[in-house]
Every structure is written in C-alpha cells, then in structure tokens.
Amino acid sequence: MKISLINKKALVGGSSGGIGKAIAQQLAESGASVTLMARSADKLAQIVSELPTDQGQSHQFLKVDFSDLEGYKKTISQYFANNSVDILVNNTQGPAAGNTLEKNTDDYQQAFDLLFKSVVFTTELALQKMKENKWGRIINVASVSVKEPLSYLALSNTIRAAVVTWAKSLASDVGSFNITVNSVLTGYFDTERISQLNAKKAQQLGIDQSEVRADMEEKVPVKRIGDPKEYGYLTTFLASENAAYITGTQIPIDGGLLKSL
C-alpha cells in the first residue's frame, strides 16, 4: 500500500523534536506540504530545510508558545486568516509532572489552557475550510494514561482524557463532511520528554536513570521503547484516504503496554 498525500496541507504542533518532528517528516515524505509549530524558531527552520520537496511540497513554520494561550491564539488566528489545512495534528508540550497531592487548581487551569483550549481553538479554525472542502483529518496526540492513569502525570492524565472525549463527540458532528477525528494514545517513545521524566523519577528513587529506562522497557511486552518514526507511520496512515472509514477512535501505540481492553 502506497500512501500519497500530494496536494494536501498539514499543520503539526510540537514539531521541533520527538513525536511531532517524526510526524512532520513522514507526512512530508508522503507528499504533504507541512507547517511546523513549536517554540524554537532555530530548530524549526533547520527541520524545514531538511524536509523533502521532490513532490512539489512547500514547507513553513510558526514560532508559538502553547503555554501562552492568548499569544498563541493571536498567532494561529493570523495563520488561518491566510492559510487552510487538510490535516491537523494537535500536539503540544506536556504539563509538568507530579501527582495529585503536588498539584493545585491553578496547575489544572494552566494544563487545561495548554492541552485542551489550545486544541479546541486550533481545531475550530481548521474546520472552517475542511467543512467547505468536504475533507479533513484531525489527529490528536494523546496518551495511554487516559485509560490507565500514571500516578506521576496527574495533569496530563486529567486533561488529555478531556481531549479524547471531546474528540469522540466531534467525530460524530463532522463525519458527514468527510472529516475524521482520531486520537492516538502514546506509550513509551524515545523522546526528550521521556528522558526528562525518567531523570526526575531516578532522582526521586535515588537510582541511575538507566535503571528507570530498563524497568520501563521490561514493562512493555515487545521489550523496547518506541521509535518516533513508528508514530509517524500510524499518523500518516490516519491522515490518508486509506483511513476514511476510521473515526472517533482512540488508538494505542504502545508496544502492548496497556493491560486494559
């Protein structure tokens, strides 16, 4: 099966590294023109210069800070005033780690702005042209923790669950426009984010970070951490015409980590 996204335009959040970068790269490999979004203009410019253009693509980037909701809304509104997208990948940096006893209501409000309000606002803007064009793909980068909460990620557990249930409702509302909405539940992937979380856990436990990673790998049935490229493959399939009958789903990509159905 060959996936072609030629003449499709994609907007990918959190794409200066890790999973977001891998998604942007694979979408571009399949022919899409990609707009990247993240905080580091230098990193984004470098990635844009490396993305393939042999299928007529044209790539660009937006410097945004998802944690500054009002500033983000201004930037993304200006973007959509002059652009439209066929594929929207909602992905932001994660909120600070910590359990429920370490977080207060202000922390939850900040996480809500970061993970939920930014996603809903961006999607509302993207949907305007998608509905006119009778075609669209909305893909949310979520987490396996919405099914099996991780004690050290209270904010992420809570707000990402809200994103997933919102996406399920949205899928029903926009299906008649040939727009699909799916959420990908992320397991353990070899990213800077997971290295940061492992470092904090190692410090708390008084052990070496390599021990934390080894324990993590042992918990995964396939006995390894995921390669971000594998995430890009799944997202690119969901963005394609081949996935037109897949919507309203929550798809784990976790090497079998989830124990629940």
CB atoms within 10 A of CB 11: 27
Question: Hey, which bits of 48-186 come out as E strands?
Answer: 60-63, 87-90, 136-143, 179-186
CB atoms within 10 A of CB 162: 16
CA–CA distance, 184 with 89 (Å, rounded to integer): 10
Would you say 27 and 12 are in contact if contact means Cβ atoms under 8 Å apart?
yes
Closest alpha carbon to 80 in 6, 23, 17, 132? 132
Closest alpha carbon to 64 in 79, 49, 48, 75? 75
The count of C-alpha atoms lying within 13 angstroms of the C-alpha of 220, restricted to the half-sphere facing its C-beta, is: 20
Active site residue 79: no
CA–CA distance, 38 with 188 (Å, rounded to integer): 21
Would you say 239 and 8 are in contact if contact means Cβ atoms under 8 Å apart?
yes
SS3 224: coil
Q: Which amino acid is at 198?
A: N
Question: Active-site residue among 72, 79, 108, 152?
Answer: 152
CA–CA distance, 185 with 126 (Å, rounded to integer): 22
First to last CA, the chain: 28
Catalytically annotated residues:
152
